[in-house]
Amino acid sequence: MTNKRFLILAPYFFPYQNPRARRVLKLIEQLDKKGFKADVVCSSRSLKPNYLSDNIKIHPCGFNSIKEKFSKLSGIPSSKKDPSSIGSKLKSVAKGLNGVFLKSFYWPDDSFVWMKKAKATCFKLSENNSYDAIICFSLPYASLIIGEQLKDAYPNILWINDIGDPLAFQSKNLINNTWLYEKQNQKTEQRILNKANLNIVTNEGLKRIYQQKLKIQEDQLKVVGPFNQVGYPAKEQAVDKAFSFLYLGTFYAKLRSPKRLKLMFKDILKQFPNRNPKLWIAGPIKSEEAKLFQSDPSLKDHVTIYPFLNKEDTQDLIQKSRFLINISNLSEHQLPSKCADYVASGLPIINVFELENDVSSAYLKEHPMVFKYNSSLVNANQTVKMKGFIDEHNNKLIQQELSKDLLSNSSPEYLLQCIMNLWKR
């Protein structure tokens, strides 16, 4: 089957470092390793990693978002280090314009600016090449809109969608004006998912919603969890290392609030007054989020914020940590991508959740060292149990073989296997 050729639509691609871009790159590395050919249609800021072979061609075109259109440095790590730079200022202006005005009207999301050039590029490539399959990555949703148009024009081609978040059902983190487009979002998503040969989602919660609310058939859905991107097995730690708790990633006011992390860590401080617990927060933290921790006198000597870390520094911080903290989304269909990195590390995990059908808890259910901290049900009994968990698992790791087994359905190899199985139907 190595003669297969793929057309891949990925608005975000290398050197972007968000979870979607890294997932695309991981799959392309697998395609290249197996000898497949692929044309990747991505945004104008994209680059081809020099280690990929000539079988992989990238076709940068257009802007994947309003932010990228306004700032050449949008999404590149160096632009974030200097908030006074022109690129950072333009990005800030674009974000304000998007949130205040444009978001009230555009559809399907801010990737609408990419669609015209991306569509023209895809159809030109399809006229000059014979593709066996189209693979579309979302969000953003523009790739799926174009994918549907390609499927209509070339009905015999296989069409696969890899979906991180849905277009509809985004009550906590709206991507367009649902007052105008709620029905259109659902109708479009239902139509697209039904047309596709396979729709890959990262968690069982989203699969369940698609089946129950959009009536998508079982054989059109497959769960492939997030990929390990920065995690690797932690080493045995010396007892004199910092008594540290690490949170990686982004906060969202409604979906993943930093207040829940603060609440949980203050519980830890109460239980370990003589151990000097340290909370390390690493990610693109906003000033108001940082202030939530920095303005509290009781946290002053315990919390350190690392706003800008590359992959190597992030891995080093994981190595120095005793426990990892996951803040579950207040959503039954959105799984934080960091969960795979956490499992790969082998470190014990504290999962802060609220929902009964918590997708993080479901994803981590086979992990032997996870404490579920219900931030909507804070009481002395739970706090005592958390102390017991920390005492029992301090300086412990799960075995690497178990970690690999837990990630067997969260890997680029498994994603490619699911795609290749379409030719066996």
- List, for residues 351-388, the tens digit of each pLDDT value: 999 998 899 999 999 999 999 999 888 788 888 899 99
- Residue 85, pLDDT > 70, answer no
- Residue 129, pLDDT > 80, answer yes
- Residue 80, pLDDT > 50, answer no
pLDDT band at 310 (very low <50, low <70, confident <90, very high): confident
Helices 258-271 and 380-393: angle between axes, nearest 10 degrees: 70
Q: Which residues pair with 133 in a beta bridge?
A: 6, 158
Return the closest-CA partner of residue 163 out of 356, 367, 335: 335
- Residue 303, pLDDT > 50, answer yes
Q: What pLDDT is stored for residue 208 in this prediction?
A: 93
Q: Which residues pair with 160 in a beta bridge?
A: 135, 198
Segment 125-134 shows an average pLDDT of 95
Is the peptide bond between 140 and the residue preceding it cis, with omega within 30 degrees of 0? yes
Q: What pLDDT is stored for residue 283 in this prediction?
A: 86
Contact of 26 with 224, CB cutoff 8 Å: no
Query: How many C-beta neighbours within 10 Å does residue 354 have?
Result: 16
Return the closest-CA partner of residue 139 out of 166, 119, 170: 166
- Residue 72, pLDDT > 60, answer no
- Residue 92, pLDDT > 80, answer no
Q: What pLDDT is stored for residue 76 in this prediction?
A: 44
Residue 33 C-beta-side C-alpha neighbours within 13 Å = 9
Contact of 55 with 32, CB cutoff 8 Å: yes
**Which has the minimum average pLDDT: 61-70, 93-102, 216-225, 251-260?**
93-102
**Which has the minimum average pLDDT: 186-200, 250-264, 408-422?**
250-264
Segment 48-65 shows an average pLDDT of 92
Residues in the chain: 425
Contact of 262 with 290, CB cutoff 8 Å: no
Distance of CA 278 to the CA centre of its chain: 26
Which position has the higher pLDDT, 365 or 78?
A: 365
Helices 178-195 and 204-214: angle between axes, nearest 10 degrees: 100
- List, for residues 393-420, the tens digit of each pLDDT value: 998 888 888 989 999 999 999 999 999 9
Segment 36-63 shows an average pLDDT of 94
Query: Pairing state of beta strands 221-223 and 198-201?
Result: parallel
Q: What pLDDT is stored for residue 375 in this prediction?
A: 86
Quick one: CA torsion of 103, 221, 34, 53, rounded to 10 degrees? -10
pLDDT band at 69 (very low <50, low <70, confident <90, very high): low
pLDDT band at 83 (very low <50, low <70, confident <90, very high): very low
CA–CA gap between residue 233 and residue 210 (Å, rounded): 35
Q: What is the 3-state secondary structure (H, E, C) of the chain?
A: CCCCEEEEECCCCCCCCCHHHHHHHHHHHHHHHCCCEEEEEECCCCCCCCCCCCCEEEEECCCCCHHHHHCCCCCCHHHHCCCCCHHHHHHHHHHHHHHHCHHHCCCCCHHHHHHHHHHHHHHHHHHHCCCCEEEEEECCCHHHHHHHHHHHHCCCCEEEEEECCCCCCCCCCCCCCHHHHHHHHHHHHHHHHHHCCEEEECCHHHHHHHHHHHCCCHHHEEECCCCCCCCCCCCCCCCCCCCEEEEECCCECCCECHHHHHHHHHHHHHHCCCCCCEEEEECCCCHHHHHHHHCCHHHCCCEEEECCCCHHHHHHHHHCCCEEEEECCCCCCCCCCHHHHHHHHCCCEEEEECCCCCHHHHHCCCCCCEEEEECCCCCHHHHHHHHHHHHHHCCCCCCHHHHHHHCCCCCHHHHHHHHHHHHHC
Return the closest-CA partner of residue 268 out of 389, 376, 370, 398: 389
